[in-house]
Amino acid sequence: MQSENQSVQRAEEQVQDNEIPTDNNQRVEEQAKANTESKEAQGESNAEPPVLSEPNKPTEEKFKCKQIAPDKCILLQNENGPCPLLALANLLSITNRIEINRDLSLEELLNLLCQYILSIQITNANDEKILDDTLKVLPRLNYGLDVNIYFDSIHVEYTDLLSPFELLRIQIYHGWVIDPQDQYYKVINNLKCYNKVVEEGIKDTVEGLVCREFLQQGQLTLAGIEALLVTVNEPCVFFYNNHFSVLTRNENKLYCLVTDEGYFDEDVVWQDLVLDGDCKFYNYNFQEFGTGNDDELARQLQQQYDYEEQQRQQTERAIEQREREQRHERVGTESTSSSKEKKKDCIIQ
């Protein structure tokens, strides 16, 4: 016991005098000395390394603002695609419910819409829920919107994704209405909506073949135009060829708002909705564009529109064909798996 006390006492004295160089301390000191000598040999200083400036971040892309009337502006789309957010904003702008007067980033546009939405008077619990859904859904509208259309009317199936339009009392219509005299009417009318027609279209049945052929047809019919002329009394959102735009009626004709950036410098605001695709362009007051000295420019604009329309339709058909093939493969795989299970259960004695 005395020997242990003496050892402890000596150890404490050594600690106080910093006289206990452990192996680790020795290695650390030797490494630090070696590093210092190496830096001095290479002419390096002990100064802190310079702080590099952060590279310039790319400027956020903005929706370009176009003045279409002395007191009205709309936002343009730089690429053709499903952008219900722009359709919503432009409809609110031309009906004087919001003011657009400059180029806007996506964040700025969403803030503008949210401010307007939050200013709406909510009077019942149902609208409270729709408001909550709207604030959740709104940012997603920039990337597209899945809609399930009914082929016996110009209406679409309501889902929570449509809550912004429901809250703002904005109608969404389409023009893909099947005529009772159409050869596909019986099958399509029984299925009612787009989603069920697509599901039936993957089957190797007579009805499946009818559905596939019907889906290859254009998404605008004479019956659809006639129904729109009867129903549309104020600007609405129009769904056509997977594209959302503002639709209005003037003197028994239907017009879609032109939002392509390619028309930024032209007095082109509307194009008429016609069945054969031979549409014309108009200014804000529905005066035809391209009269007089503008014939050649109008022809070029028409060619550009026709080309873009053709590209959209080809892309849509390719996507639908790929979806049908994928569904068909899944059905085939499930059928094969089911057959194997049945064979396992079948025991021959």
- Annotated active-site positions, please? 83, 243
Neighbouring CB atoms inside 10 A of 21's CB total: 10
Kindly give the residue spans of alpha helices, DSSP state H, lying in the chain: 2-16, 23-41, 84-94, 106-118, 125-137, 163-167, 185-191, 194-201, 206-215, 222-231, 295-345
Q: Are 261 and 268 in contact (CB under 8 A)?
A: no
Helix, strand, coil percent content, the chain, rounded in steps of 5: 50, 15, 35
DSSP symbol at 202: T
Q: CB under 8 Å to 275, separation ≥6 — which residues?
A: 220, 221, 222, 225
Query: At residue 172, what are phi and psi to the nearest 5 degrees?
Result: -115, 120
Neighbouring CB atoms inside 10 A of 96's CB total: 9
The two structure tokens encoding residue 265: 């410098």
Query: At residue 305, what are phi and psi to the nearest 5 degrees?
Result: -65, -45
The two structure tokens encoding residue 130: 């729709």
Q: CB under 8 Å to 60, separation ≥6 — which residues?
A: 105, 106, 107
